[in-house]
């Protein structure tokens, strides 16, 4: 079974630039999550999709972050414009069971450095 | 804000010893999960314990849950070098968000 795929693995940009991350969840997994993990901290949920609908985006800074999951499969997360404090690892996860948050499968993440 | 808080923040043990880490949380939960994260990698699900369960085992892992104290513990027995990682508890509360703590970093010395 293929895991959660994320790209790119690393990204370095300057502040005020734009960046996009891509995630392809495990086939058949209805729920997709984007987490932000700042160095030394636990992951913080940014947005959660159920198929192609948004379940929770209460912690997504909507003035600069956007995410979409077209066709209920892969997803992109965009930051525009980036700030220094956006430097973090962006983790995508998926889970099989709808309407629950049990047993998430994580990708390896995209490490973003904003200079 | 993060619901779960792990303790200790860091733990260093000798290979073969047991490692115990704790997680405390603030609100009622549906379940509590433990994840492992190796350096530079994503998180890997280890074990899930539901609010009506008190103890679960999986291989060398033992998890307990005390809902009256709002706390959980993860025990790794007979530790190995490969157990070196950060361990996170995640709580699924009634708001249907899965919230992670800040983690315990475990170092197993050969």
Q: Determine what percent of chain A is predicted with pLDDT higher than 70.
A: 98
pLDDT at B97: 79
Q: For residues A4 and A91, is the Cβ–Cβ distance under 8 A?
A: no
Option in A45, A55, A107 nearest B42 (CB): A107
What is the band of B2 on the pLDDT scale with cuts at 50, 70, 90?
low
**pLDDT score, position B1:** 46
Mean pLDDT of A89-111: 91
Asked whether B85 and B38 are in contact (CB, 8 A), the reply is: yes
B107, burial (CB in 10 Å: exposed 0-12, middle 13-18, buried 19+): middle
Q: Which residue of B has its CA nearest to A58?
A: B97
Alpha-carbon distance of B94 to B92, in angstroms, equals 7
- For B12-71, what is each residue's pLDDT tens digit? 999 999 999 999 999 889 999 999 999 989 999 999 999 999 999 999 999 999 999 999
Distance between CA B89 and CA B100 in Å, rounded? 6
Give the residue on A whose Cα is nearest the Cα of B9: A40
User: Rounded to an integer, what distance in angstroms lies between the CA atom of residue A52 and that of residue A70?
Assistant: 6
How far apart CA B105 and CA B48 sit, in angstroms, is 20
HSE-CB at B26 with a 13 A cutoff on CA atoms is 9
> What was the pLDDT predicted at A52?
84
Query: Which residues of B lie closer than 8 Å to A, measured between beta carbons?
Result: 2, 4, 31, 33, 35, 40-45, 48, 88, 92, 96-103
């Amino acid at each position: 079974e293929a895991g959660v795929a994320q790209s790119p693995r690393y990204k370095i940009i300057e502040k005020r630039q734009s960046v996009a991350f891509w995630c392809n969840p495990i086939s058949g997994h209805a729920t997709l999550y984007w987490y932000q993990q700042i160095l030394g901290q636990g992951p913080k949920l940014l947005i959660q999709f159920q198929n192609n609908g948004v379940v929770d985006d209460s912690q997504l800074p909507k003035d600069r972050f956007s995410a979409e999951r077209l066709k209920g499969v892969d997803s992109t997360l965009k930051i525009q414009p980036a700030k220094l404090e956006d430097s973090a690892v962006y983790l995508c996860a998926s889970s099989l069971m709808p309407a629950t948050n049990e047993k998430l499968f994580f990708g390896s993440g995209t490490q973003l450095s904003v200079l | 804000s993060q619901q779960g808080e792990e303790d200790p923040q860091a733990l260093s043990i000798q290979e073969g010893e047991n490692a115990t880490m704790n997680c405390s949380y603030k609100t009622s939960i549906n379940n509590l999960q433990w994840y492992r994260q190796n350096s530079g990698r994503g998180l890997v699900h280890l074990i899930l314990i539901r609010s009506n369960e008190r103890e679960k085992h999986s291989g060398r892992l033992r998890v307990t849950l005390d809902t009256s104290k709002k706390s959980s513990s993860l025990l790794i027995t007979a530790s190995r070098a490969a157990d070196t990682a950060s361990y996170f508890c995640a709580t699924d509360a009634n708001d249907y968000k899965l919230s992670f703590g800040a983690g315990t970093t475990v170092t197993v010395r050969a």
